[in-house]
Amino acid sequence: MIKEKISKLRTNIEISKEVFIITKIINIQKFSISDGSGIRTSVFFKGCGLDCKWCHNPESISFDKELLYDSEKCISCGKCVKTCPNGALELSDGKVIIDRNKCIACGDCIEYCLGDALETAGKEYSVSEIVEAIEKDNLFYEVSDGGVTLSGGESMIQDIYYLENLCKKLKRRGIHIAVDTSGYAPTEHFKRILKYVDIFLYDVKTMDDEVHKKFVGKGNKLILENLIFLNEHNASINIRIPIFEGVNATTKDMEDIIDFLKHNNIHVEQINLLPYHEIGTHKYERLNLGYSYDSFGVPSNEVMKQFQELYKKSGYNNTLIGG
């Protein structure tokens, strides 16, 4: 309970201040074949400093443990409403409404849900517990040149002592570490774990700071500074560019990114162009959130191929669509 209260304080804290965060994990996904080489275990951290309008994992944004509700499974029995000691639930038109100001994600209501419609997102793991889960698949990493990918949410914005300890323990065991990051985290965090990380999978969305603020919730200054920092310290970097019609799917946007990479002599192992793909609103409904943003869309295959050619012509031969 005390831990929950401290954690709730985290959500609105400025990124520059050193804070105590209780790290939570959404999922430890085994046998993943994306987000890095070979067979991987992906660790999804809960909490992110950005607020991307297209986020496919809204449950990963908040640092707090949260109750998720699936209206498709709900049989509208109302048991959960009666069970909640905090009066956080109500049944309206056959659907459960969660008052997030009252819900402390204790999970009591889940025990009484006959429809399996409720679950919590966010679990505290010790570093040893995560290492133990990852180590079980050592053989698969060895035969496939795989390893672990720290993802989220945003792994780099978590408690740096926790993250550093995790990376150190994995490295000692010879496990390949990839960090999938938006780059929106204190530079000090990158500095602390740089020596353990084999590759950064680094998102670059747009060079236009205003567009970045509009669609991502924050400007791109810190993100670009951290990218330069990593490059100056010889980190291996894959650049990942999510592409959205209405946001950054223009030749100028791509040229601006190329100019930035060239101007700063960023050494890139690979560029991944990631076309936006639509998702249902289901995940947002599970958090009682709206997904009404319709000012961006899916780029065509033709546009994606044109962009790939542009990167290749600019010297980035290892540019892939997807990945």
Binding site for ligand SF4 (CB under 6 A): 67, 74-80, 83-84, 86, 88-89, 96, 103-109, 112-115, 117-118
Q: Which two tokens stand for residue 37?
A: 């080489």
Q: Given the complex with ligand SF4, which of 85 and 174 has the nearer CB atom?
A: 85
Least separation in angstroms between CB 286 and ligand SF4: 11
* 5 vs 17, beta carbon nearer ligand SF4: 5
Provide the b/e sequence for 35-58 (b: ≥16 CB within 10 Å).
bbbebbbbbbbbbbbbebbbbebb
**CB 25 within 8 Å of CB 45:** yes
What are 275-278's contacts with CB under 8 Å, separation 24+?
A: 275/243, 275/299, 275/304, 275/321, 275/322, 276/54, 276/242, 276/243, 276/244, 276/245
For ligand SF4, give the closer residue by CB, 111 or 209. Answer: 111
* Nearer Cβ to ligand SF4 (43/89): 89
| Coil vs helix vs strand at 62 | coil
- Angle among Cα 59, 191, 175 to the nearest 5 degrees reads 70
Whichever of 96 and 230 has its CB closer to ligand SF4, that residue is: 96
Tokens representing 133 are 């889960």
Considering the complex, state which of residue 61 and residue 96 has its C-beta at the smaller distance from ligand SF4.
96
Q: Rounded distance, CA 243 to CA 82, Å?
A: 45
